[in-house]
A and B are shown apart, each in its own frame.
Chain A
Amino acid sequence: MILIPCPNCGPRNSSEFTNQGEVKTRPASDSVTKAEWRNFLYLKNNPLGWTVEQWYHSSGCRKFLIAERHTLTNEIRAIRLASQQGDAS
């Protein structure tokens, strides 16, 4: 179980959230090649370590969040609303 420190609601159980995977940059639709598009769709970094990912607080404030989580310890060291610019911290 992961405890997610939601910026709006405080620390909440991860079962309240929907994990939406690693944050990736969507390629521009007018200039994208087939290979780039497939990579965007399917390839993930899947790191053993820190990863930046998006969560949706579906049973809470219903905001999209960007969190920096360690994939071995599940520790979250930074989190922000997705609507705010900048890195996860």
Chain B
Amino acid sequence: MSRTKPVNYSAFGLIRHGLSHKEWPRVWRNVDLKKSYDVVIIGAGVHGLSTAYYLAKNHGIHNVAVLDRAYVGGGGSGRNTAILRSNYLTPEGVTFYDRSVALYRTLAADLNFNVMFAPRGHLTLAHNDGALRTMRWRAEVNKVQGIDSEVIGPDEIKKLVPYMDVSSDTRYPILGALYHPPGGIIRHDAVNWGYARAADAMGVEIHQQTEVLGINTSGGKVTGVTTNRGEVSAPIVINCTAGWATLIADMAGVKLPIITHPLQAAVTEPVKMFLSSVVVSGSLHVYVSQTDRGELVFGASTDPYASYSMRSSLEFTEELAGHILELMPSISKLRLLRQWSGLCDITPDFSPIMGFTEVEGFLVDVGWGTYGFKAGPASGEAMAELAATNKTPKMIAAFDLARFEDGRLASERGAAAVGH
């Protein structure tokens, strides 16, 4: 490899390029597709790119291709609401997401790319006794594992979010919240681009507009993939295609317990900063945060039917507006700037599927539903270790595909179904 470190970004370089408008370096290379690679990764989102990055960085495997039908970060990785947290419900989930938050914390320095991570605190509201009980349960699970997480009352919520209506005469009164100070938001596009740039500098090839049309197997082993740009041979193929995961797995003859649901989101026009925390309400199916630019970013629950359609609906906007105004009536005059939709690969237990399949060499990193972005670095690190050593790392052992047949589900429904 000619380069092992990406071109260093600096204030001096920015001024020099800004004044001359010449020699803006390409962020990643555009090269011809080779005939063979050590590892082929399908899907250039945060999972695919981070897997490629850690394969090169931690395991010295540089002959890697990341293929994407469209463009880098064009799926869920660029459509999510960019919330990070680790206050999950199962011990397996907590350990895993905490590793991810830890990697995100130092990611800007590791990648020399400003990913704008802002650990501003994360509030999950409880509107009834059942929800409050689950919050207490989660707080205890979190504390045992050393995660900063506690249940707070309406008065403390009001201090953190002054614009929130915490009065008791509302339709959904706020009884308390699970407060998770290390949670926050990040710039999701920067994470994708940062990983792509750093992986590329270590020799990983990123091939956009390269659609996988078939997965080639022989005697129960993967031999490569067929793309719209020709055949590529590889002993290891990793499926990181989120909403399209079952379509890719079907090509290898692997059935996945996944249903694809659209998830919609929206942003308002930018306003002066007034909301520092991330606020999530499971009962009202809404979560909201304010970006550094000042836009309020809203997300909701998935559309209640399986679909690959990424069209937005007025029904979503109406419901979202109604719910968010229950929480913060004072933002009623804010206008929505745009809305969009992404695809989520939902599993029966709201936990991901990572690891081996019955086809040797065909690995999956799928089932990320509505919580895939926040897991990106940890899953990339674990999948890279799995692909390089051919052994399942302990951290992701609970998330294997065989768990569905054995009946050992890792249910995160209480902490992942709506809340983010």
Contact = CB atoms under 8 A, between A and B. Distances in A.
A2 B308 contact: no
Q: Give the secondary structure class of A's interface.
A: mixed
Interface in A12-28: 13-15, 18-19, 21-22
Contacts of A41: 348
A46 B260 contact: yes
Given A42-B257, A43-B257, A44-B258, A71 B304 contact: no
A15 to B, nearest CB: 6
A73 B305 CA distance: 13
B259 interface: yes
Contacts of B304: 18-19
Interface string B50-73: 000000000000000000000000
Contacts of A9: none
Given A14-B305, A72-B308, A38 B405 contact: yes
Nearest to A42: B257
Interface residues of A, number: 26
A21 B305 CA distance: 7
A15 B235 CA distance: 47
Contacts of B259: 21, 44, 46
Contacts of A19: 304-306
A35 B258 contact: no
Given A1-B314, A38-B405, A42-B404, A74 B258 contact: no
Contacts of B255: 39, 43
Contacts of B256: 43, 46
B313 interface: yes
A8 B404 CA distance: 39
B348 A1 contact: no
Contacts of B314: 1
A72 B244 CA distance: 12
A1 B313 contact: yes
B306 A51 contact: yes
Nearest to A14: B305
Contacts, number: 57
B247 interface: yes
Contact of A38 (B260, B306, B307, B404): B404
Interface of B: 244, 246-247, 255-260, 304-309, 313-315, 348, 404-405, 407
Given A42-B348, A44-B257, A46-B258, A71 B307 contact: yes
A52 to B, nearest CB: 12
A2 B262 CA distance: 13
A17 to B, nearest CB: 9
14 contacts: A2-B305, A14-B305, A19-B304, A22-B306, A34-B405, A38-B405, A44-B257, A44-B258, A44-B259, A44-B306, A45-B246, A46-B246, A46-B247, A71-B260
Contacts of B309: 71-74
Contacts of A43: 255-257
A42 B409 CA distance: 11
A71 B405 CA distance: 27
B231 to A, nearest CB: 23
A73 B260 CA distance: 14
Contacts of A73: 309
A46 B347 CA distance: 12
A1 B258 contact: no
Contacts of B404: 38, 42
Contacts of A46: 246-247, 256, 258-260, 306
Contacts of A35: 405
Contacts of A21: 259, 306
A18 B305 CA distance: 8
Nearest to B255: A43
A31 B305 CA distance: 32
Enumerate the 4 nearest inter-chain pairs by beta-carbon distance, A residue then B residue, closest first.
A42-B257, A19-B305, A46-B246, A1-B313
A48 B308 contact: yes
Nearest to B257: A42
A2 B259 CA distance: 18
Indicate the member of A14, A19, A46 with the most B CB atoms within 10 Å. Answer: A46
